[in-house]
Structure 1
Amino acid sequence: MTDQPGQPQEEPDQEPDYRFTLANERTYLAYLRTSLACYAGGLSAVQFLDLGNDRWPARIIGIVLVTAGIVTTAGAFLRWQQNITAMRRGGRLPVTRLPLMLGATITVVGAIGLLFTLWR
């Protein structure tokens, strides 16, 4: 900001275009749907996955998926909040590793589930 006459004053927070705000909200809601799917998959694995007498593989899969859901829920809110702040200040959107974490978790859990199913 400058105090010289004729120089534009920098506004600290501007309301972004509503389309960007709504797009950010849709992304947030998509992450919440993904976390709900992780919760449901984790609870279903514990309840219905039949891998013989040992229940520990199903419990591990369930714990990993429910934990991924919790991390996704928290990460989605943090990402939404950081994006809104960056848009209002006219800055760059922050980089997130949330999609990488989700993809890796689902791949590993799927591979473990496949191995135990083939092993049985």
Structure 2
Amino acid sequence: MSDPTQEPDYRFTLANERTYLAYLRTALACYAGGLSAVQFLDLGPDRWPARVIGVVLVAAGITTTALAFRRWQANLSAMRTGGPLPVTRLPLMLGATIATVGLIGLLFSLWR
């Protein structure tokens, strides 16, 4: 184990920060996509499919924002202590959510 008071290599610290910012951009895209779905998608007379898509995307954005911060902190802590980087399921969650929302949108577009 390394000295916890010693700063990790700045390149790793900056890479960790870039990854965190990439997750925040993804969360922002989820917010924008969710709000746009509610506002502009016309997938039926009562618009519930658009609302479902919007809520799921905004919820994914909120979850991504929170988990990205936790991941950034955990990675920084692991780098400072010389431990292994923690495993995350965040990319899997994001990919599955976006694929599911896309499939729902496609099905309702074809159904209409």
Q: TM-score range by the shorter chain?
A: over 0.9
The equivalent residue for 2:87 is 95
Are 1:51 and 2:51 matched, yes or no? Answer: no
Q: Secondary structure at the match of 1:14?
A: coil
Q: More relative contact order in 1 or in 2 (CA 8 Å, sep 6+)?
A: 2
Q: CA separation in 2, counterparts of 1:87 and 1:56?
A: 46
Structure with a larger share of its residues in helix: 2
Are 1:64 and 2:56 matched, yes or no? Answer: yes
TM-score of the aligned structures, taking structure 2 as reference length: 0.96
Larger-Rg structure: 1
Q: Secondary structure at the match of 2:39?
A: helix
Shift of 1:14: 2.1
Q: CA separation in 2, counterparts of 1:111 and 1:119?
A: 12
The equivalent residue for 1:113 is 105
- 8 Å CA contact 2:3–2:80 kept in 1: the answer is no
Partner amino acid, structure 2, of 1:22:
L
Quote the RMSD (CA, aligned, Å): 0.9
Q: Secondary structure at the match of 1:13?
A: coil
Q: CA separation in 2, counterparts of 1:14 and 1:62?
A: 45
The equivalent residue for 1:4 is none
Q: CA separation in 1, counterparts of 2:5 and 2:82?
A: 8
Give 5+ residue unaligned stretches, structure 1.
1-9
Are 1:84 and 2:76 matched, yes or no? Answer: yes
TM-score of the aligned structures, taking structure 1 as reference length: 0.90
Shift of 1:28: 0.2
Q: CA separation in 1, counterparts of 2:98 and 2:5?
A: 38
